[in-house]
């Protein structure tokens, strides 16, 4: 029974990875064909005040809050979070999980930069950028890295937990962070919505794929 359950879980992980990268490829095709322009423009402007594309929708405190929250998807914050969780896992005698988390996040960062270099999509020009940006637009590095990093860390923490109910919180928190960070990139005018969707697909697929590889290589927990 346990072997059957493990086989089913491995199968859904493979399908999830395939679906994530297929969705990413589909988004890239739609963007390259110019079919996403109206969709991107409509959603981005929907987050700006009517008739004032330089003014994000809502009160000033919301803009300040999202500017703060978007930094949770930045490389520095993600690397600090990864190092902290890895140190916690290592201190609790889960050295392999710690190494898995570090390797997965570093690999995702390299993949994100490579994808940006390949597609080299310009940033949105409909509204002023509310935060500084330094790279191409597709995929959203914040969205991709948030998904890859936080879901990887959630998996590592959940696997370290003994009780099933204790495994829910890391995934719930990771999902909330990933959604908030991705939406903040569009709200702040630095990414098209399709950039964020592509980043979520690629980052989620990366995290699931990394966890599948770890399950295949690492010994089963007691």
Using one digit for the tens of pLDDT, what is the confidence trace for 1-10? 555 555 666 6
Two structure tokens written together for 99:
């190494």
Provide the sign of the torsion angle of the four alpha carbons 68, 40, 55, 130, taken in this order. positive
Q: What share of the chain has pLDDT > 70, as a percent? A: 90
Ranking 12-16, 17-21, 200-204 by mean pLDDT, the lowest is 12-16
pLDDT band at 219 (very low <50, low <70, confident <90, very high): low
Q: What is the mean pLDDT of residues 88-110?
A: 92
Domains of the chain, residue spans: 2-47+57-217
Average pLDDT along the chain: 87
The span from the CA of 44 to the CA of 39, in Å, is 9
55: left (phi over 0), alpha (psi -120 to 50) or beta: beta
Cα four-point dihedral sign 132, 138, 141, 147: positive
The average pLDDT across 2-20 equals 74
pLDDT tens figures, 160-204: 776 667 778 899 999 999 999 999 999 988 899 999 999 999 999
CA-CA distance, 52 to 127, in Å (whole number)? 9
Confidence of residue 222 (pLDDT cuts 50, 70, 90): very low
Tens digits of residue pLDDT in 154-165 = 998 888 776 667
What is the average pLDDT across 89-112? Answer: 92
Window from 20-24, 29-33, 108-112, 164-168 with minimum mean pLDDT: 164-168
């Amino acid at each position: 029974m346990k072997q059957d359950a493990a086989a089913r879980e491995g199968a859904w992980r493979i399908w999830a990875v395939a679906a994530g990268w297929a969705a990413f490829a589909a988004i890239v095709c739609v963007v390259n064909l110019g079919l996403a322009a109206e969709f991107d423009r409509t959603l981005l402007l929907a987050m700006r005040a009517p008739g004032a594309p330089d003014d994000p929708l809502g009160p000033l405190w919301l803009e300040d809050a999202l500017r703060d929250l978007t930094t949770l998807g930045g490389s520095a914050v993600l690397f600090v979070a990864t190092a902290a969780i890895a140190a916690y896992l290592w201190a609790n005698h889960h050295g392999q999980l710690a190494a898995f988390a570090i390797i997965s996040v570093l690999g995702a960062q390299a993949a994100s930069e490579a994808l940006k270099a390949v597609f080299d999509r310009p940033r949105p020009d409909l509204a002023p950028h509310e935060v500084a940006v330094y790279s191409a637009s597709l995929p959203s590095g914040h969205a991709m890295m948030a998904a890859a990093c936080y879901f990887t860390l959630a998996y590592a923490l959940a696997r370290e937990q003994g009780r099933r109910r204790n495994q829910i919180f890391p995934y719930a928190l990771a999902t909330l962070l990933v959604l908030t960070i991705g939406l903040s990139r569009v709200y702040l005018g630095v990414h098209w919505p399709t950039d964020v969707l592509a980043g979520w697909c690629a980052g989620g697929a990366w995290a699931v794929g990394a966890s599948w590889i770890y399950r295949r290589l690492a010994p089963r927990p007691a």
